[in-house]
């Protein structure tokens, strides 16, 4: 993998994983638009580990609280920590179930499509705008209940379709339920820890078992992604205290429109189209 591809992949994953514009969709588009060889799902998952590490570092207080909450649950104690842990678990269940079904049916092998990325970018971008514009500003994570966690978790499962954006669709659901933007983002990122961690470990583990080696360039990509992702989270959490999601919605719609225009004009977008 050439050095320029390493840098581009790290930049895309490190930035788009946390912005509501779909990291998986952008990673799929890299080989389609550049002519580079598709980096493959394993490389995507290694960069995922980079962003996962960034989330754990940035939200370390919440991560510690979740660990404490697990012990509180074992002791059958109802605390703020145990409720946070419970809600993250509840919110993770739908994507685990759908992810396993997609794996068993091999559906995950047939959705790396530029057309699907374009459609999802537009559709879920418009839905994000509607939820952000109409959602109330009154709830925080302390107001979370099992119903809200379940609905956000169901929304997260849609992110298995490229172009949807895991952060975007979970923030959309949270805003629709009345959570303020910083809290919607915070819960979205905490929800990414078990989801992204399990997916990355599962796919990378299968690759290693099948004899596939994880090369040095792939590891470098993951490390570079971590530093870019940490900076992106820091900037985003500051921005959304003072701005809406509209700029991201506009970007999604423009991206989807341009991609559809390229596709239907007959321009080849590589093997993923």
**In the chain, where the domains are located:** 3-264
Average pLDDT, integer, range 193-211: 78
pLDDT confidence of residue 175: 96
User: What per-residue confidence (pLDDT) applies to 236?
Assistant: 92
Give the residue-averaged pLDDT of 208-225: 81
Mean pLDDT of the chain: 87
- Backbone phi and psi for residue 20, each to the nearest 5 degrees, phi listed first: -80, 55
pLDDT at 41: 72
- pLDDT, residue 230, reads 94
**155-162 mean pLDDT:** 91
pLDDT band at 193 (very low <50, low <70, confident <90, very high): very high
pLDDT at site 272:
42
Q: Which residue reads 């370390």 in tokens?
A: 60
Residue 199: pLDDT band (50, 70, 90) is: confident
Instruction: Give the predicted TM-score (pTM) of the model.
Output: 0.84
Q: In Å, how far are 27, 163, 262 from 113, measured between CA atoms?
A: 11, 9, 13
Structure confidence at residue 146 as a pLDDT band (50, 70, 90): very high
The single residue listed with the structure tokens 């990673």 is: 27
Handedness of CA 198, 160, 53, 1 (dihedral sign): positive
Helix (H) / strand (E) containing 35: none
* Distant-in-sequence, close-in-space partners of 92: CB < 8 Å, separation ≥ 6: 153, 156, 191, 194, 195
Of 50, 51, 26, nearest to 39 by C-alpha is: 26
| pLDDT one-digit tens code per residue, 29-52 | 777 777 787 777 777 788 888 999
Give yes or no for a contact between 99 and 199, defined as CB atoms under 8 angstroms apart.
yes
What 3-state class would DSSP assign to 139?
strand
Cα-only R_g, the chain = 18
Average pLDDT over residues 77-85: 95
Distance CA 200, CA 197 (A): 5
Distance, in Å, from the CA atom of 73 to the CA atom of 63, rounded to the nearest integer, reads: 15
């Amino acid at each position: 993998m050439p050095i320029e591809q390493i840098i581009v992949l790290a930049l895309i994953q490190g930035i788009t994983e946390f912005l509501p514009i779909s990291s998986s969709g952008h990673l799929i588009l890299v080989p389609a638009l550049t002519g580079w060889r598709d980096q493959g799902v394993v490389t995507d998952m290694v960069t995922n580990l980079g962003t996962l590490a960034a989330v754990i570092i940035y939200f370390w207080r919440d991560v510690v609280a979740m660990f404490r909450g697990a012990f509180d649950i074992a002791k059958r104690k109802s605390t703020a920590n145990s409720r946070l842990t419970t809600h993250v678990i509840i919110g993770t269940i739908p994507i685990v179930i759908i992810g396993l079904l997609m794996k068993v049916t091999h559906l995950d092998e047939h959705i790396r499509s530029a057309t699907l990325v374009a459609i999802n970018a537009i559709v879920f971008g418009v839905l994000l705008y509607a939820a952000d514009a109409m959602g109330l500003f009154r709830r925080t994570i302390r107001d979370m209940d099992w119903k809200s966690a379940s609905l956000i978790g169901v929304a997260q499962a849609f992110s298995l379709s490229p172009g949807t954006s895991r952060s975007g669709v979970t923030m959309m659901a949270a805003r629709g339920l009345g959570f303020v933007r910083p809290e919607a983002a915070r819960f979205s990122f905490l929800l990414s820890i078990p989801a992204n961690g399990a997916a990355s470990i599962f796919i990378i583990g299968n690759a290693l078992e099948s004899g596939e080696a994880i090369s040095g360039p792939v590891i470098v990509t993951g490390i570079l992604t971590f530093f870019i992702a940490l900076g992106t989270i820091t900037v985003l959490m500051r921005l959304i205290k003072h701005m809406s999601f509209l700029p991201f919605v506009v970007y999604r719609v423009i991206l989807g429109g341009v991609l559809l225009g390229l596709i239907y004009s007959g321009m080849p977008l590589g093997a993923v189209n």
